[in-house]
């Protein structure tokens, strides 16, 4: 295993596969809690017209919940490229997880979009990266 000399809370943390897999259960719990908190707010917003003046406090609450979730994930050293998407930087790309996936099973190479995520097992088999050891 490579040592990055970086701790939780550092935004530029480099992970290896074992480290990312170890953090995933915590990421899943944090995400599920914030997603559950967000659902009633989202439902209220969906029932309102876009120009309804009553939307503003719900939109602020929505943003606050998402911002709290993002902050907690980033404190772990992971990145948040989209809502309920968490990625772990491995240097050449990111180990990518999206709610409600059960495991860390996708990889996104640097420069690729979220829709271009690849199967993690296949990527490891084909490239044998150092971070997968």
Could you give the CA distance from residue 4 to residue 63 in angstroms, rounded to a whole number?
A: 33
Q: What is the pLDDT of residue 133?
A: 84
pTM > 0.85: yes
> pLDDT digits over 84-98, tens only?
999 999 999 999 999
Taking residues 94-114, what's their average pLDDT? 97
Taking residues 47-64, what's their average pLDDT? 96
Three-state secondary structure call for residue 105: coil
Paired strand residues for 53 = none
Residue spans per domain, the chain: 17-132
Paired strand residues for 95 = 88, 107
DSSP, res 130: G
9 exposed, middle or buried (CB, 10 Å; 0-12, 13-18, 19+)? Answer: exposed
pLDDT band at 1, cuts 50/70/90? very low
CB 115 within 8 A of CB 101: no
The H or E element spanning position 56 is helix 55-75
> pLDDT digits over 15-51, tens only?
999 999 999 999 999 999 999 999 999 999 999 999 9
The H or E element spanning position 30 is helix 17-47
């Amino acid at each position: 295993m490579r040592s990055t000399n970086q701790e939780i809370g550092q935004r530029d943390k480099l992970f290896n596969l074992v480290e990312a897999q170890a953090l995933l259960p915590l990421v899943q719990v944090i995400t599920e809690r914030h997603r559950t908190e967000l659902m009633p707010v989202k439902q209220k917003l969906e029932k309102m017209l876009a120009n309804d003046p009553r939307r503003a406090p719900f939109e602020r609450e929505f943003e606050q919940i998402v911002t709290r979730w993002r902050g907690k994930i980033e404190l772990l050293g992971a990145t948040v490229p989209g809502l309920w998407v968490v990625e772990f930087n491995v240097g050449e790309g990111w180990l990518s997880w999206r709610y409600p996936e059960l495991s860390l099973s996708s990889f996104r190479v640097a420069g690729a979009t979220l829709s271009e995520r690849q199967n993690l097992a296949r990527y490891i088999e084909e490239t044998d990266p150092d971070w997968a050891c």
